[in-house]
Amino acid sequence: MRQTTNNEMITALDNAIASVEMEGFVFSDGEKELCMEALEGKITKDELIKKLLERCRV
């Protein structure tokens, strides 16, 4: 199985964000960066969820 390139991950993330934003949700730059970190394997999915939930509590 071939690895996904960084450009492919960015394109996939941009497409997912565009889809969600069509429903009215707006992502901050920080939220986009966190999602990219998860896609790159820098943080786990659980860490991503925890960090996003912390932002909601502020």
The model carries a pTM of 0.79
Q: Which residues of 8-20 are buried (b: 16+ CB within 10 A; e: fewer)?
A: eeeeebeeebeee
Residue 1 has pLDDT above 80, yes or no: no
Residue 48 lies in a domain: yes
Neighbour-count burial of 7, counting CB atoms closer than 10 A to its CB (0-12 exposed, 13-18 middle, 19+ buried) = exposed
Q: How far apart are the C-alpha atoms of 6 and 11, rounded to whole Å?
A: 9
pLDDT of residue 2: 79
Residue 46 has pLDDT above 90, yes or no: yes
- Domains in the chain, number: 1
Residue 47 lies in a domain: yes
pLDDT, tens digit (0-9, with 9 covering 90-100), for 17-36: 999 999 999 999 999 999 99
Containing structural domain, residue 44: 6-57
Helices (H), the chain: 6-22, 29-39, 45-57
Q: How far apart are the C-alpha atoms of 41 and 19, rounded to whole Å?
A: 23
